[in-house]
Amino acid sequence: MTFPLSLVFLGVVFFASALSGVFGMAGGLILMGFLLAWMPATTAIAVHGIIQMGSNASRAWLSRHYIDWRIVAWIVLGVVIAALLLASVRYTPSENVVLLLIGIMPILVWLPRRWFRFDVSRPTDALLCGLVAGGLTIAAGVSGPTIDIGFVRTRLDRRTVVASKAAIQVIAHTIKVVFYFQAVLALEQGQWGWIALAIPLSFLGTRSGNAILKRLTDASFRGWTRWLVTLVGGYYAVRGVTGLV
């Protein structure tokens, strides 16, 4: 990336982290879309994973007292199974497929509760959620909306939702980076410098978003989450369909 583009990259990282600090999602979708515009899909997913590890780790740390570790354990087990299955078929991503996948994911948060009773407070649902989310984390680089449908239908408060999802994402992104380790090794020294700068910026963005989160009610948190991911997802769905056509 050129110097001006690298500065834009840092701005996107900060904004995306702040957004995720508020809603626990959406920021990853925005960052992935930006990276796909300038990098091959495999490299974009790897870089996204490195940055999101830092962003989610800071969010998990700031809200560590609210993490539900039982839910985290079951979902992570599903993520590991999904990663092993994709590794067995030697999956390789393409840009348009990734865009299409991250574009249609937000549709899931609008499913009526009576149609789709996905509740991660139940171990079997949490395992299935992890399996689906893990597959999408590897295949598309992001999986926030699929994890969110499991949490939106629980009675957990917004702080537990954000904290638990952050802990899950730290582990899921770590697995993703390992999956695309060859792309990580291929990164140039200059790219590593910008990534290194992006990680503390993601922490600052998360702190800013966390301050806003404290002012939201549970009802407004869930309402804004649905509309936000739908808007972002719609944009990427159009990009993906256009690219395939």
**pLDDT exceeds 90 at position 72:** yes
pLDDT in tens, 53-66: 877 787 788 888 99
Task: Please write down the HEC assignment for all residues of 79-142.
Answer: HHHHHHHHHHCCCCCCHHHHHHHHHHHHHHHHCCCCCCCCCCCCHHHHHHHHHHHHHHHHHHCC
Q: What is the domain extent for residue 54?
A: 3-244
**pLDDT exceeds 90 at position 204:** no
Rounded CA separation 180/43 (Å): 8
Higher pLDDT, 236 or 163: 163
Per cent of the chain over pLDDT 70 is: 87
**pLDDT exceeds 90 at position 127:** yes
**pLDDT exceeds 80 at position 35:** yes
Count of residues in the chain: 245
**pLDDT band with cut points at 50, 70 and 90 for residue 76:** very high
pTM comes to 0.78
The dihedral over CA atoms of 233, 146, 45, 87, expressed in degrees to the nearest 10, equals -140
Residue with tokens 């590890």: 53
Question: Can you tell me the mean pLDDT for 198-217?
Answer: 80
As for how many domains the chain has, the answer is: 1
Give the pLDDT confidence score for residue 114 in this predicted structure: 62
Q: Nearest to residue 179, comparing CAs of 100, 241, 62, 92?
A: 92
Which helix or strand (DSSP H or E) is residue 38 part of? none
**pLDDT band with cut points at 50, 70 and 90 for residue 141:** confident
pLDDT in tens, 142-196: 776 677 777 766 778 878 888 898 899 899 989 999 999 999 888 887 788 888 8
**pLDDT exceeds 70 at position 138:** yes
Question: Can you tell me the mean pLDDT for 121-134?
Answer: 89
Q: How many Cβ atoms sit within 10 Å of the Cβ of residue 215?
A: 8
